[in-house]
């Protein structure tokens, strides 16, 4: 079913994000299209939504599966200051978690750094890419994929057994337009007030999963193991190694050790 983005644009015409929404049936990836638009200097807060991605990807180049008519896959173009770049992933995860809680009564957790989960199953993935020039931010792209109405059977067929959807969690179909508008509106509010960082960071910290547990973090050939002690204001994970030293990690793929 086709998304009605015109009504969302009208409802968000006074917001920073969502005033311009370009809707596609199929693209290589929404990030590719958003990047092209950013290179041309498109209006800040412009959104690219697609029903299907041929080459959708998440972190570490992993495939990002889209289900036409059943989920939301979209990217947002922003022109933030350098100080805001490290906060975009955190802010976006908090926004999605807030919408899931306020609108659908769900209790999301956040798996560092960018997966929103319900009962340990992924419901949303977030990808942030930034282009710099002479130490200044040219643009930042936020890619968001949210499972809306997929059934567990379909998710399992796609090899996504550790994934869930809003529909599955609440027991009924959900209007995708409702979710998209809520996320864009809340993100507009948060992005416009990122300097008031305490509330966003506090919500993110409270939603973080597995703090205090043994973890292994892999980033390329580098591996760190220890206790996940917390996160700092820039979203770096603080891990206490066996020797007692603490390392701050800006990114990585986390697995949890028994």
Q: How far is CA 72 from CA 3, 44, 87, 183, in A?
A: 10, 20, 23, 11
Per-residue pLDDT, 155 = 56
Domain limits of the chain?
A: 5-207, 214-256
For the 214-256 domain, the top CATH level (class) is mainly beta
* Long-range Cβ pairs for the range 245-253 (8 Å, 24+): 249/217, 249/219, 249/224, 250/86, 251/113, 251/219, 252/113, 252/217, 252/218, 252/219, 252/222, 252/224, 253/59, 253/60, 253/217, 253/218, 253/219
Tokens (6 digits) for 163: 């994934």
Give CA–CA dist 11/244, Å, rounded: 52
Q: Does domain 5-207 have CATH number 3.30.930.10?
A: yes
- Would the CATH topology of 5-207 be identical to that of 214-256? no
Question: How would you write the pLDDT of the chain (258 residues) with one tens digit per residue?
Answer: 789 999 999 999 999 999 999 999 999 999 999 999 999 999 999 999 999 988 655 444 555 666 778 999 999 999 998 888 888 999 999 999 999 999 999 999 998 878 999 999 999 999 999 999 988 999 999 999 999 998 866 555 455 558 899 999 999 999 999 999 999 999 999 998 875 677 888 888 888 888 888 888 887 778 889 999 888 877 788 999 999 999 888 766 666 554
Per-residue pLDDT, 160 = 52
Q: Which residues contact 112 (CB under 8 A, 6 or more apart)?
A: 208, 209, 228, 231, 237, 254
Per-residue pLDDT, 258 = 43
Q: Do the Cβ atoms of 74 and 126 come closer than 8 Å? A: no
């Amino acid at each position: 079913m086709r998304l009605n983005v015109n009504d969302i644009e009208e409802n968000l015409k006074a917001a920073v994000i969502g005033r311009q929404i370009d809707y596609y049936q199929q693209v290589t990836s929404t990030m590719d299209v958003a990047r092209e638009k950013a290179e041309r200097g498109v209006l800040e807060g412009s959104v690219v939504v697609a029903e299907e991605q041929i080459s959708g990807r998440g972190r570490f180049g992993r495939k990002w599966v889209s289900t036409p008519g059943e989920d939301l896959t979209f990217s947002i173009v922003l022109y933030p200051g350098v100080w805001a770049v490290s906060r975009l992933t955190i802010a976006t995860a908090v926004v999605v978690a807030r919408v899931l809680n306020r609108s659908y009564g769900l209790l999301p957790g956040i798996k560092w750094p960018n997966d929103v989960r319900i009962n340990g199953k992924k419901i949303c993935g977030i990808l942030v890419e930034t282009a710099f020039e002479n130490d200044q931010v040219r643009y930042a792209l936020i890619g968001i994929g949210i499972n809306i109405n997929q059934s567990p059977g379909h998710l399992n067929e796609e090899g996504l057994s550790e994934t869930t959807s809003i529909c599955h969690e609440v027991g009924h179909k959900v209007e995708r337009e409702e979710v998209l508008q809520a996320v864009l509106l809340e993100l507009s509010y948060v992005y416009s007030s990122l300097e008031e960082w305490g509330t966003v960071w506090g919500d993110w910290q409270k939603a973080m999963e597995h703090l205090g547990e043994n973890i292994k973090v892999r980033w390329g050939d580098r591996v760190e193991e220890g206790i996940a002690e917390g996160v700092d204001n820039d979203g770096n994970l603080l891990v206490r190694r066996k020797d007692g030293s603490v390392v701050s990690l800006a990114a990585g793929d986390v697995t949890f050790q028994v």
